[in-house]
Amino acid sequence: MPGLPPSEEMQKLDEVLLAEVHDAYGVIRVVQIGAYRFLEFGQGIEQSCVYPPDPSWLEYDYTRAMLMGALCHEAPESALFLGLGAGNLTQACLKFLPLEDVEVIELRPDVPRLAMQLLGLDDDPRLTIRIGDAVELLASAETADLIFVDLYTDQGPGAGHLAWHFLESCREKLNPGGWLIINQWAGNDGKPLGAALLRGLYHRHYWECPVKEGNVVLLIPESLGQSLDLACLSERADALAPRLGYSLQPLIAALRPAS
């Protein structure tokens, strides 16, 4: 999630550089500001925010909205993450969902290394990380109950966020009853990037959750015959709230049909 503005409180604190790596795609940095650590790409473009005492804590609404999307499934056993970032969403899903098998595809090999060394990502036995381009490796991935797409660089969303065949293949990788969850940029009109393409590809059969960071999280069911049960979603969110330490209800209230 690049380009998040720091809060006024954060701006007053000193930044401590914990790691800097140069690879074929540019610069990766891990910095600490106050109690938080940040994964950055390029010239200080923030990708993830982690609270080290609890790496499963989701600080930003867009990650909370993606977790909320996972609750659309009654009991997911498998998940596929396309893009790792700092790994805190992956960590949250491993902690709070009944997952038995989690696969991550991440482009840059130093990202998972830094996530494990400095950002609290556990080497969980349920977790498998593969290095490579998600667009190229998707075909060899296992099917899953949940698929998360969050492919960002320091320049913005990766090409996969607007690639018809790739986005179609993501849904085709879902198990029956599964959900595809995409963190999509939003334009000035509040609609997701590539709204016309998305409406055509998914036949307007999906839901959108706009978040305050400026993105729109898309919740896409595996089939046209599958719908979003708001009552069940709300019940699951309420049951999980004491463990999360925050409520997902404001995000559920923000849900809207495809625009």
Q: Considering only CA atoms, which of 56, 53, 19, 12 is closest in space to residue 36?
A: 53
The three-class DSSP label of residue 16 is strand
Q: Considering only CA atoms, which of 131, 117, 143 is closest in space to residue 50?
A: 117
Q: What is the dihedral of CA 51, 124, 94, 246, to 10 degrees?
A: -20
pLDDT value for 4: 44
Under-50 pLDDT residues of the chain? 1-8
pLDDT value for 2: 40
**What does the pLDDT look like over 34-60, one tens digit per residue?**
999 999 999 888 999 999 999 999 999
d(CA 21, CA 30): 9
pLDDT value for 53: 96
Write the CB contacts of 49 (distance below 8 Å, at least 6 apart in sequence): 4, 36, 37, 38, 59, 60, 86, 88
**What does the pLDDT look like over 178-218, one tens digit per residue?**
999 999 999 889 999 999 999 999 999 999 999 999 999 99
pLDDT value for 9: 53
Reported pTM: 0.94
The three-class DSSP label of residue 110 is helix
